[in-house]
Amino acid sequence: MNTQFKKGVLELCALTALTTGDLYGYELADMLGKKITVSEGSVYPMLKRLQNEGYFETYLIESSTGPARKYYRITQQGLDRQRVLQEQWCEFTEQVNSFFQEAE
């Protein structure tokens, strides 16, 4: 899949994944990497960007088996952003799908 295209979707998926609960960096990278076959390395820059834009907050939790884990928590601003992006996505895919149906 096109990388530019994926980049936009990646943001929406990260926001969506965090609506159900906080996750730490590796969990998010692993999940996104597997589900939308994006290179996991590009998840971290995206997370940092969204954090800078105020959509996420981070906090550390000590782990008994290793170093502290950095957890991501979605903010109210992030929830609003997720809703807007999801609406746009659904609208867009409907339009594209109707285009396919006409072509058949």
Partner 1 sequence: MKRIDFLNELYHYLRALSPEERNDILEDYRLHFIEGEKEGKSEEQICEELGDPVECARQYVGDLVVVEAEPTPVKKSKSAKKKKKNRIDKETRRKIFWTISFIWNIIQAIISVPTTCTIFLVAAIMVVFFCFVVPLTGSVAFFFFGFFATLSVFLLGVIVLLWTMIEIKTCINKINGEGK
Find the shortest distance in angstroms from Cβ 33 to partner 1. Answer: 6
Nearest CB to partner 1, comparing residues 47 and 74 = 47
Find the shortest distance in angstroms from Cβ 4 to partner 1. Answer: 12
Interface stretch with partner 1, choices 12-20, 21-29, 78-86, 90-98 (CB under 8 A): 21-29
Tell me: does residue 62 bind partner 1 (CB under 8 A): no
Which of 54, 25, 55 has the alpha carbon at shortest distance from 40?
25
Report the residue from 8, 45, 61, 90 that binds partner 1 according to the rule CB under 8 A: 45
Measured distance CA(83)–CA(60) in Å, rounded: 27
What does R_g of the chain's alpha carbons equal in angstroms?
16
Site string for partner 1, 70-89 (x = CB under 8 A): x-------------------
Q: How far is CA 35 from CA 10, 13, 17, 31, 57, in A?
A: 10, 10, 11, 6, 23
Which residues lie below 8 Å from residue 32, measured CB to CB, with a gap of 6+? 10, 13, 14, 17, 38, 40, 43
List contacts with partner 1 (CB under 8 A).
Answer: 24-26, 29, 33, 39-42, 44-48, 65-67, 69-70
